[in-house]
Amino acid sequence: MTDLTNLTLVQAQRALHSGECSSVELTRACLERIARLEPCIHAFITHTPQAALEAASQADLRRARWKKEGGSMLPPLLGIPLAVKDLLCLAGVRCTCGSRILENFIPPYSATAVERLLAAGMVVVGKTNTDEYAMGSSTENSAFGPTHNPWDTGRVPGGSSGGSAAALAARFVPAALGSDTGGSVRQPASYCGVVGLKPTYGRVSRYGLVAYGSSLDTVGPFTRTVADAALIFEHMAGYDRHDATSADLPVSSTCLDDNADLSGLRIGVPDEYFIAGIQPEVTNAVRTAIAVFEAQGAVVFPVSLPHTQYALPVYYLIASSEASANLARYDGIRFGARRDADNLFDLFSRTRGQNFGAEVKRRIMLGTYALSAGYYDAYYGQAQKVRTLIQRDFDKAFEQVDLIAAPVAPSTAFRFNEHLDDPLAMYLEDVFTLPANLAGVPGLAFPAGFDSAHLPIGMQLMAAPFREDILFRAGHAYQQITDWHQAAPSLP
């Protein structure tokens, strides 16, 4: 029998429907691979093998009953394993956010995105590792230890959704969920050689996603192909009354044509994304991929996003300010860890000081300062004004083009500890992903080559708000005539 862990999401769906394998067989294959390789990858914080096998068994019973008796259609993703970033709530399973302060927190409800995929039949095998509260670009900031990149275990998988990206690259699961506040799906997808989608802000409900930067947070999938990303997105997106920022717009069924013709598609290439200091192999791989799109019939020409140079400081002012407000709730009184003290001030100080990691403290202090009296207008207020200019840059560009093509990150995966003592160097790893979050536009990252060290290189396409369909069409066409996405790391 084919190694079931090599099946993509679409292939797994077909194999289950045809009877080539059962959900229990598929889930057990994933769990056995996790048990064998997890010690050298550490993609997960919490494992749920027993619950996964029980859900898989129920899926098989349901499918057998349907084949015998007929009736209403089966859930479209019935019996397919899924990993969930440990920033998304799953009822009855602890949600740590990679932090000691929530080490024993068990949510009583599930995030809407997770709930919808459970309703579609998916089987959760565990909660994946993350930088604490999604604050990081390497998954080195997790209180539960770092995740290792399957392509080179001496390197980071990216962050903050590094656990989910590594789980995909290591063939632990055919799909995983992450969150993207400033690139936390796309950047680790690039480092790990998988596909990652950041949806339009408001397209996928944030309900049940523990907040970091509320005006920037999005929930997105990791898969091994663009077709897989389109399939899972279709079932997790849509309006949710529990999320005040959720867009009340229909989500159309995604039907991808295997014909690679992209005639008439307009792709813009911004010079601002090809800056000094970028790894030459990254530039060459992305330029080569753009030429592939052009050969498929796309029209490629330059566009300008002139305020891109301000995206980094604008993002860290806005995200840190929102984090300062959102994380104020972790005070040792209502929920989470608590450090005993003789007075209220010491209770707050000890609980937060001893349970938050260094990067979380750094961003809370930066955000608190930016929001403080006398500085609000000069920092947070000014950053919001520049954010508007960045958004207008994208609006203007999308009047001329359908897509914008760019690198995901300025380099391939870096070594552990390489940037830990230099926050600015770490922040610069997200310099190409931050603008899409500030503008609220969707972005799709996918493999486009390898560097001389055989580390994956990713490129990203960005589209106008709510035009994920164009991203899927173009990305799928690219993968019809390239095979970068089929490469797998060599693991013991």
State the Cα–Cα distance between residues 81 and 156, nearest whole angstrom.
24
Question: Mean pLDDT across the chain, nearest whole number?
Answer: 95
Task: Evaluate if residue 359 carries a pLDDT over 80.
Answer: yes
Determine whether 110 is an active site residue.
no
Query: Are 363 and 141 spatial neighbours (Cβ–Cβ below 8 Å)?
Result: no
Strand pairing report for 443-450 and 456-463: antiparallel
pLDDT tens per residue across span 135-186:
999 999 999 999 999 999 999 999 999 999 999 999 999 999 999 999 999 9
- Does domain 4-266+409-486 fall under CATH 3.90.1300.10? My reply is yes
Q: What is the mean pLDDT of residues 395-403?
A: 98
**Helix, strand, coil percent values for the chain (each to nearest 5):** 45, 15, 45
Instruction: Give φ, ψ of 41 to 5 degrees.
Output: -110, -45
396 is catalytic: no
Beta strands 81-85 and 123-128, pairing class: parallel
Catalytic residue among 110, 142, 179, 184: 184
Active-site residue among 160, 179, 205, 246? 160
Check whether 450 has a pLDDT greater than 90. yes
Residue position matching structure tokens 């498929």: 296
Look at residue 353 in the predicted model and tell me its pLDDT: 80
The residue annotated as part of the active site, out of 22, 85, 138, 205, is 85
For the chain, the C-alpha Rg in angstroms (whole number) is: 21
Residue 1: the pLDDT is 54
Domain spans of the chain, in order of start: 4-266+409-486
Tell me if residue 385 is catalytic: no
Average pLDDT over residues 91-109: 96
Contact assessment for residue 195 and residue 231, using Cβ atoms and an 8 Å cutoff: no
* Mean local confidence (pLDDT), 59-80: 93
Which SS3 state, helix, strand or coil, does residue 242 take?
Answer: coil
For the whole model, what pTM was predicted?
A: 0.96
> What pLDDT is stored for residue 200 in this prediction?
98
